[in-house]
Structure 1
Amino acid sequence: MDIVLHKITVRELTAGYQDKGDDGVVAYGGKLDVRPPFQREFVYNDKQRELVIDTLMKGHPLNIMYWAVREDGTYEIIDGQQRTISICQYVADDFSVKTRGSMLNFSVLQDDEQQKILDYELLVYFCEGSPSEKLEWFETINIAGETLNRQELLNATFAGAWLSDAKRYFSKSSGPAYNRGHNLLSGSANRQDYLATILRWISGGDIERYMNKHQGDPNANALKQYFEAVISWVNNTFKVYRSSMKGVEWGPLYDQYKDIVLDTDAIEQQISDLVEDGEVKSEKGIYHYILTGDERYLDLRAFDVKTKRKKYQEQGGICPVCQQHFDFSEMEGDHVIPWKDGGKTEEDNLMMLCKKDNRMKSGK
């Protein structure tokens, strides 16, 4: 990995600046991709970007920026997007800052004030290397402000037509994926949470490998079709929407049960009963339980320590299964009548078993 420090003037940086909306932002004579596919949308507020310009006007140092050198000799911003756009927008007269007591655009500043800003030297590290080296570097540099999350770092490494298409679909707060499934997906589309979720589902958890395999694809149609299939299956299988459905790991459930004919009316009745069951602590886990039958997803109510100590004393520390004596720490509380048979988490339905017998009994 080659990392070289350069001094870039604001004049050089803002030359050729263009904001093309969804098609990106360029600067530095058109050679700098200011908003490459892995970057988030512009998030600085008025106060933050005014502080950037105030720093330039006063000649104070601005944090170092990082640019990645592409194979064709152009550049993309790793860190510094928000500062760069703030500077370019100001020089382009997109906003004003308080100067000499008035809110002034760049174009109405005195000549010497303009020259001071244009001559300001930014410190920029040019970073060049293989995708794996770049990813390692992205993960270790001390990025000022709000850091890139894991998916944003992966986007930086596997940029291309496939990723651009995926981001248009999954990474916009008003985009197709948001409109189709925001009530089932947790997190933020802009911060790549939706994209990360779908990639995790389709890849079985190996997002990096999947992105590496498909980086050269011309589009992300397969990823979009998978997402649409998952959402359709959920909507068709679970007839009544509940807020607890948001954030469930739907992908793995779809993969396992999509070809099984399910009784959707019976499923809705089960869900309705479980929602009203005071023993069930995890409403979100109901959907996994309905399909898998695994009670652990329900996070059923457990006996409190005080009640278990009382029962331990009543039993004299004897496990009713093996008839051996154990210390309290060696025993666990269990339902006499299991929850699935109508048993409640109440003192008269509690027995203390040694850990071995309790786990054999429950199949743990």
Structure 2
Amino acid sequence: RITSVGRFVTDKFAIKDENGMEQYFDGIAKDKKDKILETKLLIYECEGTESQIKEWFKTINIAGVPLVPQELLNAIYSGPFVTLGKEEFSNSQNANIQKWSAYIKGSANRQAFFERALDWVSKGSIDDYMSIHRNDKNINELKRYFNSVIDWISSVFTDVESEMCGLEWGRLYEQYHKKAYDPKKVSAEIRKLYGDPYIKNRKGIFEFILCGSANTKFLEVRIFDEATKKSVYASQTKKAESKGKSNCPHCAIGHDANKSKIWNFDEMDADHVAAWSKGGKTTAKNCEMLCRTHNRAKGNR
């Protein structure tokens, strides 16, 4: 916060005045400038272990606008590494901010990009990484890894969608970056999936594609509602009883004791007759009730 005062009076950023207008220090009235420059600040300079410093900052952080976790870590591990990191990732004038914002939530001023860069390179151990590199005179490794992730995302997914922002790109990069993808095919598949009314989770589309379009759990495909399941169960059971067969179509063609078993509603699950991944719709016409054993054994859902 002390450095923020210094940055403001050197025109590094603007603040809103009482009328909501953004003003740089150089543009405000002289009396206001003088008041700011002549105000005395009470500053305590403390020394202690890193653990003690962390506790002090937590206590100080109770008052005023709370610092975000990365701002606290920047203060705790202040040094050349943090200074260089903030110059690169916390500079709102950086021309790359717009590109990064497509994949990372937050603002440069509140350390969102610096935090994400550290999170990716450290595999989630930001605290340890900053402690180890505190006195480094460069951030080459940090920048290299961050840019590798960003470049990989933009090379695989040539179309930028709003749902891409905030995904676990560091984890996805580690898990999938060694696989080869055809950007044109990826783009076509994304358009197809975005047009599918049965997909509830668009954010999951990207990992669904990365994993080979095999695991529909990422998409949260819309399931059959309770009314549809009960209606199909009643119809299916009535037909099965009239034929002396099981109301589970798979059991009915089997050779064990369940061939003529009538399952209770709560012993069955709804399933797509034509798999969703092959164009099947989540409608009553495409619904069948299976005993849970056969439903779990069935493959492509």
TM (norm. structure 2) is: 0.73
**What secondary structure does 1:285 align onto?**
helix
Q: CA deviation at 1:275?
A: 1.6
| Greater share of helix | 2
Using the alignment, how far apart are the partners of 2:292 and 2:223 within structure 1? 15
CA-to-aligned-CA distance 1:277-311 (integer Å, 9 cap, x gap):
22222222211111113222222112223323333
Q: Relative contact order (alpha carbons < 8 A, sep ≥ 6): 1 or 2 greater? A: 1
User: Quick one: which amino acid aligns to residue 215 of structure 1?
Assistant: R
Q: CA deviation at 1:331?
A: 4.9
Tell me if 1:349 matches 2:268.
no
Rate the CA distance shift 1:142–1:246 in 2: closer, same or farther, 3 A: closer
Give aligned pairs, total.
272
CA-to-aligned-CA distance 1:25-67 (integer Å, 9 cap, x gap):
9xxxxxxxxxxxxxxx97864449xxxxxxxxxxxxxxxxxxx
User: Quick one: which amino acid aligns to residue 277 of structure 2?
Assistant: K
Which residue number in structure 2 is paired with residue 305 of structure 1? 226
CA RMSD of aligned residues (A): 3.9
Kindly report which structure 2 residues correspond to 1:106-125, keeping only aligned pairs within 5 A, or say none.
106=35
Which residue number in structure 1 is paired with residue 168 of structure 2? 249
Which residue number in structure 1 is paired with residue 182 of structure 2? 263
Which residue number in structure 1 is paired with residue 216 of structure 2? 295
| Greater share of strand | 1
CA-to-aligned-CA distance 1:94-147 (integer Å, 9 cap, x gap):
7647xxxxxx9659xxxxxx9xx87xx96x776543112222343355622321
CA contact (8 A) 1:170 1:177 kept: no
Using the alignment, how far apart are the partners of 2:184 and 2:71 within structure 1? 41
Match of 1:284 among 203, 220, 245: 203
Q: CA deviation at 1:182?
A: 2.1
**What secondary structure does 1:343 align onto?**
coil
User: Quick one: which amino acid aligns to residue 333 of structure 1?
Assistant: A
Match of 1:182 among 81, 84, 101: 101
Kindly report which structure 2 residues correspond to 1:185-224, keeping only aligned pairs within 5 A, or say none.
185-224=104-143
CA contact (8 A) 2:273 2:286 kept: yes
Using the alignment, how far apart are the partners of 2:225 and 2:30 within structure 1? 61
TM (norm. structure 1) is: 0.62
Using the alignment, how far apart are the partners of 1:315 and 1:209 within structure 2? 60
CA contact (8 A) 2:228 2:284 kept: yes
Tell me if 1:136 matches 2:55.
yes
User: Quick one: which amino acid aligns to residue 279 of structure 2?
Assistant: G
Which residue number in structure 1 is paired with residue 277 of structure 2? 340
Which residue number in structure 1 is paired with residue 155 of structure 2? 236
Structure 1 unaligned spans of 5+: 1-13, 26-40, 49-88, 98-103, 108-113
Q: CA deviation at 1:184?
A: 2.3
Using the alignment, how far apart are the partners of 1:228 and 1:140 within structure 2? 36
**What secondary structure does 1:334 align onto?**
strand
**What secondary structure does 1:248 align onto?**
coil
User: Quick one: which amino acid aligns to residue 302 of structure 1?
Assistant: I
CA contact (8 A) 1:170 1:189 kept: yes
Rate the CA distance shift 1:18–1:299 in 2: closer, same or farther, 3 A: closer
